[in-house]
């Protein structure tokens, strides 16, 4: 209530990127003190074995995670984890530091509960992120890497491998992002003939530098044709990949409540939030039918409550992520989604989320 009726109106009076910096900075400041962070974590989680999930060789305290894009530079993952997230994905991180695209580059579509962003992987680079990733942390952290804008497509593999080398020791799981619409040529790497050598090279780099198995996943776009989704799924299985994250933002602008002329004036970028829900679920279902439970599927896109999150579990996901809905609903959202997920599971006769995951896909 405090966030919705007091803090959110104040933040929404500011440009979105400024509001994000202020809100994230305040969260990091107040939860920088270990006793306070521990107290908030205890209140947010209220540890419940019925929410715990075994996936990617890890034990997740909750299946609800924060998607990449919020904590781009690995500055606040433990603070975010304390608010109720079962895991936090940092990044997207690139091999080279880069400022991203010109501002303004982040826009709210309040009528649609959506965002448009063309951030362009703004981050301080892999070396700086590695220095911030503490292996003694309380939060499960995934590391999402992308291509540096200054690196030509033909040198993309070497660029990803550099990031993997620098970050391998610090990640609980690793994500190759080839699906953002805001880096020129990046989505070309989703074609299997380019994706296969890239994933093989990153896998080799992780194995060489982590001294343990680091789960490797790939994040795909909702705008892929169904045949390409099938091809990526088959490739993931054949390579022994640990999982797929579906989906990133979309370049489509279908069926929005925001007036067309307003949307067009905002320009290019990836659309996230509630409008992405149908396609994200459709892609997940296709992946689930293709790979079953042989690899881990993480669903993201348009998830705003625990009932939709449980729907993703039934469609094949083992874990879910939110981003845009967190901007709209605030820090109480992850715990709320977890409670509602469990409620939805019990209404269908399951005693836990893990039991629902073990059931046949519907």
Residue extents of the structural domains in the chain: 2-358
pLDDT > 50? residue 19: yes
State the catalytic residues: 180
pLDDT > 90? residue 267: yes
> What is the percentage of the chain residues whose pLDDT exceeds 90?
78
What is the pLDDT at residue 362?
45
As a three-state string, the secondary structure of 54-94 is EECCEEECCCEEECCCCCCCCCCHHHHHHCCCCEEEEEEEE
The set of long-range contacts for 17-24, using a CB threshold of 8 Å and a minimum separation of 24, is 17/103, 17/104, 17/105, 17/106, 20/70, 20/106, 20/327, 24/70, 24/71, 24/75, 24/76
Q: Which residue has the tokens 């951030």?
A: 119
DSSP letter at 175 equals E
Q: What is the pLDDT of residues 103-158, one digit of tens each?
A: 999 999 999 999 999 999 999 999 999 999 977 788 999 999 999 999 988 899 99
* Residues linked to residue 219 through DSSP beta bridges, in sequence order: 177, 245
pTM as predicted: 0.94
326, 70 contact by CB (below 8 A) = yes
Top CATH class, 2-358: alpha beta
What is the pLDDT at residue 37?
81
Integer Cα distance of 59 and 61 in angstroms? 6
For residue 190, name the pLDDT band (cuts at 50, 70, 90). Answer: low
Strand order across the 114-117 sheet: 106-109, 114-117, 270-273
Mean pLDDT of the chain: 92
Q: What is the pLDDT of residues 154-180, one digit of tens each?
A: 899 999 999 999 999 999 999 999 877
Integer Cα distance of 83 and 230 in angstroms? 36
Which backbone phi and psi does 192 adopt, to 5 degrees?
-60, -30
């Amino acid at each position: 209530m405090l966030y919705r009726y007091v803090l959110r109106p104040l933040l929404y009076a500011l440009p979105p990127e400024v509001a994000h910096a202020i809100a994230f900075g305040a969260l990091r400041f107040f939860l920088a003190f270990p006793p306070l962070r521990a107290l908030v974590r205890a209140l947010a989680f209220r540890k419940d074995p019925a929410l715990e999930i075994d996936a990617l060789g890890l034990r997740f305290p909750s299946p609800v995670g924060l998607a990449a894009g919020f904590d781009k530079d690995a500055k606040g993952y433990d603070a975010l984890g304390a608010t109720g997230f079962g895991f936090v994905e940092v990044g997207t991180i690139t091999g080279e530091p880069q400022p991203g695209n010109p501002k303004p580059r982040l826009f709210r579509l309040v009528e649609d509960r959506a965002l448009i962003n063309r951030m362009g992987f703004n981050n301080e680079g892999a070396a700086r992120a590695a220095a911030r990733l503490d292996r003694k942390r309380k939060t499960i952290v995934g590391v999402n890497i992308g291509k540096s804008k200054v690196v030509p497509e033909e040198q993309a593999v070497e660029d990803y491998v550099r990031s993997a080398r620098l970050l391998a020791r610090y990640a609980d799981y690793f994500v190759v992002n080839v699906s953002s619409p805001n880096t020129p040529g990046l989505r070309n790497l989703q074609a299997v003939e380019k994706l296969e050598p890239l994933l093989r090279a990153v896998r080799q780099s992780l194995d060489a530098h982590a001294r343990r198995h680091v789960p490797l996943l790939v994040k795909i776009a909702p705008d892929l044709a169904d045949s390409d989704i099938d091809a990526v799924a088959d490739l993931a299985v054949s390579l022994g990949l640990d999982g797929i994250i579906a989906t990133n933002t979309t370049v489509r602008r279908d069926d929005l409540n925001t007036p067309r002329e307003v949307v067009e004036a905002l320009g290019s970028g990836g659309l996230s939030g509630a409008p992405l829900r149908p396609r994200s679920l459709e892609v997940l279902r296709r992946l689930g039918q293709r790979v079953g439970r042989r690899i881990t599927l993480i669903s993201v896109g348009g998830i705003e409550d625990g009932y939709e999150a449980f729907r993703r579990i039934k469609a094949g996901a083992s874990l879910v992520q939110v981003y845009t809905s967190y901007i709209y609903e605030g820090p109480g959202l992850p715990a709320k989604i977890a409670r509602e997920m469990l409620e939805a599971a019990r209404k269908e006769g399951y005693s836990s989320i893990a039991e629902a995951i073990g059931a046949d896909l519907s």
